[in-house]
Structure 1
Amino acid sequence: MKNKSILSLIFFLIITVLSSSGAFAHPGRIDLPKNQASGTLQVYYFDVGQGDSTLIRTPENQYILIDAGNNNQGNNVVKYLNHLGVNTLDAVVATHPDADHIGGLDDVIKSINVKSVYAPKVSHTTDTYKDFLLAVKNKGLTIKQAKKDVTIPLMGVTATFLAPVNEYGSDLNKWSAVLRLGYKNNSFLFTGDADIKSETDMLINKSILKADVLKVGSHGSISSSSKKFIDAVKPRYAIISVGKNSYGHPNAGILSRLKDAGAAVMRTDQKGTITAISNGSTITFTTTKGAK
């Protein structure tokens, strides 16, 4: 009997250690962000691994979703939205047809009421892109073109596309929809995978690029975030949506460039979902992993 007690104690200790180490963690578990009180502008940079997905909640409780990560992240994005009480998306923005941006959008569109969908006028032949188009069609929606000077009608904030400025053939990253959001004295810039050519065209077009918070282009790739572009944006904060990858994202040189520009850099692979809260004059942040 004594031996059984000792064995039971040992077994209990082993289970406790394994549980605390995460050995039995549920593979589909995600860390959900804190639901912020209404009346402020909130931007949730979702942790979707190596991909992009961002939710904007306006002070008037309107919601805009930009991208939804890869195919395997769609259900997670739906979980994020449900947790945050999102019943209707006033706008969905598909920045470009790459799978790590639009892969999960079909799941979102099927699960959540959507009023409008914006995307650049470029197509792709992948099943992922076809799934996105089919989900839009099945909801009885048509895609509104995202391009420079197009605005998303919202109350109390401005949301204007700065890109694509031109047409770029089959180069999908260059087609990325770039959205600038303004709320009183604060501003945010969402760049998708816009590369240096697109950045240059925005500069030539004399777009208003200045923004307090920059969603860094292409997961911190060296193909984006030129010095001239960063100098024009002058971000105080730079958010990089990134996960485990073999591309070298984020690039060390880009990280140095952002820091040299005075931007505080935050990464979803290190901080989890990052939430920016603006009252129109100041911006605070909360994350699901670690300290601010």
Structure 2
Amino acid sequence: MKRFLLKNQKFLYILLLVILFTTLLVSGCSFQTFPETGKTSQTQTGDNLPEDRSLPSSSSLLEVNFIDVGQADSIFIKFPEGKTMLIDAGNNDDGDKIISFIKKQCVKKLDVVVGTHPHEDHIGAMDDIINTFNIGKIYMPKVTTTTRTFKDVLISIAAKNLKITTAMGGMTIPVEDDVKVEILAPNSAHYEDLNNYSAVIKVTYKSTSLLFTGDAEKLSEEEMLKLGFNLRADVLKVGHHGSSSGTSEEFLSAVSPKYAIISVAKNNDYGHPHKETLRRLAAHGVKVYTTADNGNILVESDGKNIRVGRVN
């Protein structure tokens, strides 16, 4: 009888260890993996995801996550020393998805939050984000709307006694020593089209850089070119979900990206990304990846090399 109990105690002990280990795996930080093969996008002009690049440990990496929020934008950035940034927050019903994604990275504070412009597909879940996480600074362009979505964002900001820093071209956002974060647009006080108020952000980590354009269209692009901003970037977040109203030939030539990411929904009502935009990107030899075909997209940089992959 004693032997039987000892045997079963040993079995139960091992079983408990297995359960505990499994629980930790499920509840802990998500491990960002790069599968050997990725789904080929019908609109891709480059290789399948992911690319085969050898990068050092994650402690020295800039990690840029393009969260798949359908016909909307949401980009979560983790800087090499651990600071964080969120650019846009999808539609109103994307809150749970974005919050879950960020929490999986074991993040409790967003040091910088940028609402590129007050369209619902960019600030829809911003109030949920602000209500959930500790927030450092919030940047938004100086433009208002009368929508319920915009009012909800303002209410959440006020409830936490936060203030909005006006995003304008020529500003820098202090984050970490090895990283430079610049605001390149908007550059005028008034635009007819709300899209052109978009805060355009350039993130430079050592010799690599990424350009995030919100929904900026040709007029904003022309202003940035005229002002002589350094637009050169390895990765371009294509403006306005790949609409032909932006990513002009002159702008694309100035950016000269190797990779382009388009945040877009499959079979959307707008026909995004437009064929004209894809043709221009293809003519420049840019490798294009869409969230519609690849889901969440992760771009990593060690300051010298760029790696593009998928993450759950």
- TM-score, length-normalised on structure 2? 0.81
C-alpha separation between the residues in 2 aligned to 1:149 and 1:218? 22
How large is the Cα RMSD of the aligned pairs?
1.3
* Alignment-derived partner of residue 217 in structure 1: 239
* Alignment-derived partner of residue 34 in structure 1: 32
1:206 aligns with one of 219, 228, 239: 228
The Cα of 1:288 is off from its aligned counterpart by: 3.9
* Alignment-derived partner of residue 52 in structure 1: 73
The Cα of 1:78 is off from its aligned counterpart by: 0.3
Which letter maps to 2:292? D
The Cα of 1:167 is off from its aligned counterpart by: 2.0
The Cα of 1:277 is off from its aligned counterpart by: 0.6
* Alignment-derived partner of residue 178 in structure 1: 200
* Alignment-derived partner of residue 9 in structure 2: none
1:241 aligns with one of 257, 263, 271: 263
* Alignment-derived partner of residue 138 in structure 2: 117
The Cα of 1:286 is off from its aligned counterpart by: 1.3
1:22-101 mapped onto 2 (5 Å cutoff): 34=32, 37-101=58-122
* Alignment-derived partner of residue 141 in structure 1: 162
Segments ≥4 residues shifted beyond 4 Å: none
SS of the residue corresponding to residue 174 of structure 1 reads: helix
CA gap of 1:197–1:47, structure 2 versus 1, over 3 A, is: same
* Alignment-derived partner of residue 273 in structure 1: 296
C-alpha separation between the residues in 1 aligned to 2:241 and 2:264? 5
1:196 aligns with one of 218, 222, 243: 218
The Cα of 1:33 is off from its aligned counterpart by: 7.5
Larger displacement relative to structure 2 (96-105 or 244-253): 244-253
* Alignment-derived partner of residue 150 in structure 1: 171
Matched residues, percent identical? 45
C-alpha separation between the residues in 2 aligned to 1:131 and 1:169? 24
* Alignment-derived partner of residue 263 in structure 1: 286
Query: Does structure 2 conserve the Cα–Cα contact (< 8 Å) formed by 1:162 and 1:177?
Result: yes
* Alignment-derived partner of residue 8 in structure 1: none
* Alignment-derived partner of residue 186 in structure 2: 164
Higher relative contact order (CA 8 A, sep 6+): 2
The Cα of 1:171 is off from its aligned counterpart by: 2.0
- TM-score, length-normalised on structure 1? 0.86
The Cα of 1:183 is off from its aligned counterpart by: 0.4
SS of the residue corresponding to residue 90 of structure 1 reads: strand
C-alpha separation between the residues in 2 aligned to 1:276 and 1:174? 26
